[in-house]
Amino acid sequence: QVQLVESGGGLVQAGGSLRLSCAASGRTVSIDCMGWFRQAPGREREFVAQISRSGDSAYYRASVKGRFAISRDNAKNTVYLQMNSLKPEDTAVYYCTETAYDCTRGVDYWGKGTQVTVAS
C-alpha cells in the first residue's frame, strides 16, 4: 500500500519560510511524478507544484512561482516543498501527491496533509 506522510508545517510570520517534507512508502517514487496541493478554509483544493520523476521538470501555479521550490530525493523516497516569502493567503492544509509515471495524469495518491498558517 502507498502511504504519503507530510511534515514541516506550522505557524510562520508573513515573509518567513517553511520547508515541507513528504516521506513516501509502498511504491518507489523514482518512477512517479510527485507534487503538492493545498486547501484553504472554505475553498477548493488547488494545485501548487509538481516535479517529474527524473526531477528535471517542475511546474507551479502562478501565485507561488518564484517563491516556492519543489525538489525530490529519490534515494530517500522523499519530496520537498521549500516555501519562501510566505503570505497570509498561503495559509492552507498542504497535501503531498503522487501520480504514476508522469505529470500528465491525475493524482493517484494523497497524503493526509500538514497545516501551514501564515500570520499577517
pLDDT of residue 31: 87
Distance of CA 41 to the CA centre of its chain: 17
Helix (H) or strand (E) holding 13: strand 10-13
pLDDT of residue 19: 98
pLDDT of residue 30: 85
pLDDT of residue 28: 81
Mean pLDDT by 10 residues, the chain (120 residues): 96 98 89 96 96 94 98 94 98 97 92 97
pLDDT of residue 107: 95
The CA radius of gyration of the chain, in Å to the nearest whole number, is: 13
pLDDT of residue 27: 83
